[in-house]
């Protein structure tokens, strides 16, 4: 396989999911476009890919596809060329990759980077591509180490890094390495995926390649990795980016204890910390305490309210004396004074909770 300079590397970005685990945040906005550390989540992935020399990216879209082109256009703001390929019906991971490949321009022997639109990762993309090319692999998978692999399928490798199996969730995993969702394919392998039908790379493509004797490599490391598919993980990802635990060229300012976007008004008597984001034109009044949270644009947190590890949606209002811990407040919702919402509560957009309502610990 001829070596490809990273400046010529093309990528496919999988952004077709509906983000159901993140509702109500994703009722009107696709998960990859949710504001994360001050910018749409994908901005971090695009800037990072560009930093490794990627020049062209094909978006594999489905849910609210038009919003991606509205957000990123032709990619020139990131120094990229972006194309958009939309699935009329969901095709699974493999089908989405195959559909997007119709917009690739590279030859059959070229490496193609495939990224998932809900992953934050600090691994060395350039080294993963170089390993793929030097070994002449069919596919090279980023693998990450987790403390509890029983919650995931695991991916064992031999002493030379060859993937030997894809194992379903089991109480006794044979390895702590799991599929981290970033792949390098040889273009001809993508072209061999059946077109126009649902295909899972995890259940069909990768096991099939292994069975056929193709070289499927694992690129294992222990760098930062996070699937932001749940509200708690989404908040953690934003917090870690603001605090600098994961570097991002897209962060709108230096890392620090919090990030305030243009027009945000924070009282000198308020306390904002722990990697929080205060959205554009948002208001945090005197005595309010914001820790490790994401406050949307134009929201208001009134005096003496406490918001911890939570998301407050665009234009929402948190009244005086309210306590929010591990909570999602939808856009335009109002939480009346004296409420205490805990343990994963989710308030849907536009809902108004009256003053001193009963404590909630479930969806509202």
| Residues labelled as active-site residues | 169
Spatial separation of the C-alpha atoms in residues 63 and 79, rounded to whole Å: 25
Looking at the DSSP bridge assignments, the partners of residue 40 are: 35
| C-beta separation of 163 from 175 below 8 A | no
- Smallest CA-to-CA distance from 274 within 26, 37, 10, 11 is with 37
Place of tokens 């193609």: 112
DSSP codes, 7-29: GG-EEEEE-----GGGTTTTSSS
Q: Give the torsion sign (CA, 252, 255, 259, 263).
A: negative
Q: Where are the alpha helices (DSSP H) in the chain?
A: 41-51, 66-72, 92-100, 125-135, 187-191, 206-211, 231-243
Sheet holding 323-325, edge to edge: 271-273, 289-291, 306-308, 323-325, 340-341
Q: Where are the beta strands (DSSP E) in 119-215?
A: 119-121, 139-145, 177-186
- Smallest CA-to-CA distance from 60 within 38, 91, 29 is with 91
The DSSP H or E segment spanning 300 is strand 300-301
Backbone dihedral angles phi then psi of residue 205, each to the nearest 5 degrees? -65, -55
Backbone dihedral angles phi then psi of residue 178, each to the nearest 5 degrees? -125, 160
Spatial separation of the C-alpha atoms in residues 364 and 355, rounded to whole Å: 15
At residue 46, the 3 state secondary structure works out as helix
At residue 206, the 3 state secondary structure works out as helix
Render the burial of 199-218: b for 16+ CB within 10 Å, e for the rest: bebbebbbbbbbeeebbbbb
Tokens standing for residue 320: 């005086």
| C-beta separation of 210 from 164 below 8 A | yes
């Amino acid at each position: 396989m001829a070596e490809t300079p990273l400046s010529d590397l093309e990528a496919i970005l999988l952004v077709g999911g509906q983000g159901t685990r993140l509702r109500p945040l994703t009722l009107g906005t696709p998960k990859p476009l949710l504001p994360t550390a001050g910018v749409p989540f994908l901005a971090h992935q695009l800037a990072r890919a560009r930093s490794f020399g990627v020049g062209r990216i094909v978006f594999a879209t489905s849910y609210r596809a038009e919003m991606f082109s509205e957000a990123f256009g032709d990619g020139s703001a990131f120094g990229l060329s972006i194309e958009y390929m939309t699935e009329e019906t969901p095709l699974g991971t493999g089908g989405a990759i195959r559909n997007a490949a119709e917009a690739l321009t590279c030859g059959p022997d070229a490496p193609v980077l495939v990224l998932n639109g809900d992953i934050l990762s600090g691994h060395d993309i350039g080294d993963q591509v170089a390993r793929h090319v030097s070994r002449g692999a069919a596919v090279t998978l980023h693998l990450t180490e987790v403390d509890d692999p029983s919650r995931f399928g695991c991916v064992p490798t031999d002493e030379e890094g060859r993937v030997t199996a894809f194992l379903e969730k089991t109480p006794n995993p044979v390895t702590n390495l799991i599929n981290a969702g970033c792949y390098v394919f040889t273009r001809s392998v993508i072209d061999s995926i059946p077109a126009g039908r649902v295909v899972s790379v995890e259940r069909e493509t990768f096991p099939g390649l292994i069975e056929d004797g193709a070289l499927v490599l694992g690129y294992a490391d222990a760098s930062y990795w996070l699937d932001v598919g749940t509200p708690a993980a989404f908040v953690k990802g934003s917090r870690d980016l603001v605090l600098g635990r994961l570097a991002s060229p897209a962060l709108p300012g230096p890392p620090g204890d919090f990030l305030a976007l243009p027009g945000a008004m924070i009282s000198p008597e308020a306390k904002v910390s722990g990697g929080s984001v205060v959205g554009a034109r948002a208001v945090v009044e005197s005595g309010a305490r914001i820790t490790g949270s994401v406050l949307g644009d134009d929201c208001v947190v009134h005096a003496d309210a406490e918001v911890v590890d939570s998301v407050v949606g665009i234009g929402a209002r948190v009244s005086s004396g309210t306590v929010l811990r591990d909570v999602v407040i939808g856009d335009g919702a109002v939480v009346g004074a004296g409420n205490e919402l805990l343990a994963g509560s989710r308030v849907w957009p536009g809902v108004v909770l009256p003053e001193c309502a009963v404590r909630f610990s479930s969806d509202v």
